[in-house]
Amino acid sequence: MSKTLRLTAAQAMVKYIAAQRNEQGETLIAGCWAIFGHGNVAGLGEALYQVQEDLPTYRGHNEQTMAHTAIAYAKQLGRKRSMMVTSSIGPGATNMVTAAALAHANRLPVLFVPGDVFANRGPDPVLQQIEDFGDGTVSANDAFKPVSRYFDRITRAEQLLTALPRAFRVLTDPAECGPVTLAFCQDVQAEAYDYPEAFFEPKVWRQRRVRPDVNELIDMVDAIRTAKRPVIVAGGGVHYSDATSELAAFAETHNIPIAETQAGKSALPWDHPLNLGPIGVTGGEAANSVCAEADLVIGVGTRFQDFTTGSWSLFANPNRKIACLNVAAYDAMKHGAMPLLADARVGLGELSSALGDHTSPASIDGLKKDWFAKVDPLTAAPSDSNALATDMQVIGAVQRSAGDHSVVMCAAGTMPGELHKLWKANRPMSYHMEYGFSCMGYEIAGAMGIKMAEPERDVLCFTGDGTYMMANSEMATATMMGISFTVIVTDNRGFGCINRLQMGTGGAEFNNLLKDAVHETPSAIDFAAHAASMGATSVKVSSISELEEALAKRGDITGPYVIVIDTDPYPSTPHGGSWWEVGVPEVSVRSEVNDAWETYRQGKATQKTV
């Protein structure tokens, strides 16, 4: 007879989680972020207390942002490890739905374990329970379903025997990777069951490397051999497959230039001769001009987001073909693409072998030099120290301060576009951008997650005043945990990025910059004082030269270091970019809107989605 262990369901869950390993021999779930409430403190809280050495528990200050920390941790480690996040039922759980959506959009693993209502329904409606008047099986946690790659509700203790292996299959599957939600009924957490002892034996989850189908490989080889102007679009999948070296070798062997998405940036060093740099709406002229003329666009590990494709107006060659090497069939076949369903590292290797000594006739002479000649002056230190700094000048100051071990990160607002265009990434995973969901509030928590993942890195976080105001509470967490990273707060006194978009679509400045909102008292937020009140070291600087002086001191500071600088909300890099579809009113009393609609109509005419 097989041996059993009598455990509560919560004890069984954490014991199983602590036994799962990756190929490197590390625990697959590196820790648990928890805010306890009546829906998880008695069951999961007691269970987590018992396994602290194998599965440490960290306390956050906001359910959404502690989940952002977990997601950034997984992203920085190339999805090789992830974290668990637990909350009580009700608002604690629904606070995490935004983070689940972020993980889903970015194909990143995180294990959500929100508390749920009583499976026995004895105390219904329990505190914080959302009642569905027509479906007794629904709770607030059903909101996780559309933003989870796998969802399960644990209503019996023995269901863990099937639910947990299914959950870890998704967390570790390169094609299906994303957030998993196990809604855990609070009475079930405390119920005991005799679990098979073998269920808790350590298990190694290996990264599956799917090899190409022979026929798809032949089709892709034929397409590349006949192409006159091919280009590769490198996405985040290149990093997650550890395929950066294979990508460089493939490009060099076959003379095919590469453009980088936000997620793919840093796949090649910025100065690699075949790295054309950023693509799309936030792209540069080098990459976009080549993509506009390309007769074969080869996506590698990209999902072809609208910012990458210029809302499908960028690839303008009327005879162009789209091909996609991707581990996920959903992405490999988008917009009628020729698929090569495979792991990026294995796929590039086999594709290169099949191509032999074939080299493309493509030429990109002078394009990179011309691009940098235009944009490098924008990041130079200004001669007028009295003028408000631009975002480009701030980037230049941070770039000059960065070293080989630096990681720059951001998520939303002005900086993602400017960093994509201007930041010179020198090695893989030195550029960490959450732009799949572009979620304001990811930045500070994400910076903490990056530093936890790679403590030796110099983490440089860009955030605007708007996103700082949305989510700053994990600054206190980082202070108390002694986690060191640098935050550069660019204060343009409002939502400058969307204000420029509003103006660009013909709208009047309205409700974006603080000066244009309905307020009786002018804004006077002291971000440096606020950060200091949470324990961070902070300073307000008044010029780029002072910013550089402040950045030079970061190596001597323990804990979060916040540098605040006022910036001009209006300028942005005038070079590069492409059309982006934003719905403009077809009729308006404003002539500016009517003019913008005509531009929109012309852009729609260039759109080619298949």
538 closest CA partner among 504, 576, 564:
564
Stronger pLDDT, 338 or 1, i.e. the higher one: 338
CA distances from 121 to 37, 41, 89 (A): 19, 19, 14
**Is 254:360 a contact under the CB 8 Å cutoff?**
yes
Quote the DSSP letter at residue 390: P
CA distances from 120 to 126, 154, 287 (A): 11, 12, 59
d(CA 290, CA 293): 5
d(CA 167, CA 260): 32
pLDDT at residue 383 greater than cutoff 90: no
pLDDT at 387: 87
Q: Per-residue pLDDT averaged across 519-529, rounded?
A: 93
How many helices (DSSP H) and strands (DSSP E) are in the chain? 24, 22
CATH number of 4-204: 3.40.50.970
d(CA 535, CA 559): 8
Stronger pLDDT, 202 or 383, i.e. the higher one: 202
Tokens of 386: 């009295």
Cβ–Cβ contacts within 10 Å for residue 569, how many?
27
d(CA 475, CA 491): 17
**Is 512:495 a contact under the CB 8 Å cutoff?**
yes
DSSP class per residue in 451-463: HHH-TTSEEEEEE
3-class state of residue 375 by DSSP: helix
Q: pLDDT > 70: what percent of the chain?
A: 100
- For 75-97, b/e burial (b = at least 16 CB within 10 A) is bbbbbbbbbbbbbbbbebbbbbb
CA neighbours closer than 13 Å in the CB half-sphere of residue 536: 31
pLDDT at residue 608 greater than cutoff 90: no
Per-residue model confidence as pLDDT tens digits over 293-347: 999 999 999 999 999 999 999 999 999 999 999 999 999 999 899 999 999 999 9
Alpha helices in 77-145 (DSSP H): 91-95, 97-106
pLDDT at residue 386 greater than cutoff 80: no
d(CA 80, CA 206): 9
What sign does the dihedral 117-123-124-128 (CA atoms) show?
negative
Torsion of CA 243, 354, 312, 434, to 10 degrees: -10
pLDDT at 1: 62
What sign does the dihedral 296-300-305-307 (CA atoms) show?
negative
Cβ neighbors of 275 (< 8 A, separation 6 or more) are 257, 258, 260, 268, 269, 368
d(CA 218, CA 267): 26
User: Which fold is adopted by the domain 214-363?
Assistant: Rossmann fold (3.40.50)
Question: pTM for this one?
Answer: 0.97
Cis peptide before 125 (omega within 30 of 0): yes
Q: What are phi and psi of 3, to 5 degrees?
A: -80, 150
Q: Is 365 exposed, middle or buried (0-12, 13-18, 19+ CB in 10 A)?
A: exposed
Tokens of 352: 């290169």
d(CA 149, CA 170): 7
Q: Which CATH architecture has domain 375-566?
A: 3-Layer(aba) Sandwich (3.40)
d(CA 276, CA 531): 39
d(CA 423, CA 379): 10
Cβ neighbors of 556 (< 8 A, separation 6 or more) are none
d(CA 351, CA 179): 31
The model's confidence at residue 565, banded by pLDDT at 50, 70 and 90, is very high
Domains of the chain, residue spans: 4-204, 214-363, 375-566
179 closest CA partner among 171, 190, 188, 187:
171
**Is 492:567 a contact under the CB 8 Å cutoff?**
yes
**Is 443:473 a contact under the CB 8 Å cutoff?**
no
Tokens of 65: 């942002």
DSSP class per residue in 520-534: SS-----HHHHHHHT
The model's confidence at residue 490, banded by pLDDT at 50, 70 and 90, is very high
Q: What is the 3-state secondary structure (H, E, C) of 431-444?
A: EEECCCCCCCCCHH
d(CA 35, CA 1): 40
Strands 4-8 and 192-196, by their bridges, are: antiparallel
3-class state of residue 87 by DSSP: strand
Per-residue model confidence as pLDDT tens digits over 240-283: 999 999 999 999 999 999 999 999 999 999 999 999 999 999 99
Q: Per-residue pLDDT averaged across 438-465, rounded?
A: 98
Q: Per-residue pLDDT averaged across 518-535, rounded?
A: 95
Q: Per-residue pLDDT averaged across 504-508, rounded?
A: 96
pLDDT at residue 610 greater than cutoff 90: no
68: amino acid identity, one letter: H
d(CA 142, CA 154): 13
d(CA 562, CA 533): 12
Angle CA(70)–CA(75)–CA(80) in degrees, nearest 5? 95
3-class state of residue 175 by DSSP: coil
Check for a shared fold between 214-363 and 375-566: yes
> Which residues on neighbouring strands pair with residue 259, listed in sequence order?
233, 277
Tokens of 590: 């404003």
The model's confidence at residue 478, banded by pLDDT at 50, 70 and 90, is very high
CA distances from 157 to 9, 90, 384, 435 (A): 5, 22, 68, 38
pLDDT at 2: 78
The residue behind tokens 């941070």 is 398
**Is 402:458 a contact under the CB 8 Å cutoff?**
yes
d(CA 337, CA 442): 32
Q: pLDDT > 90: what percent of the chain?
A: 97
**CA end-to-end span of the chain, whole Å?**
60
pLDDT at residue 594 greater than cutoff 80: yes
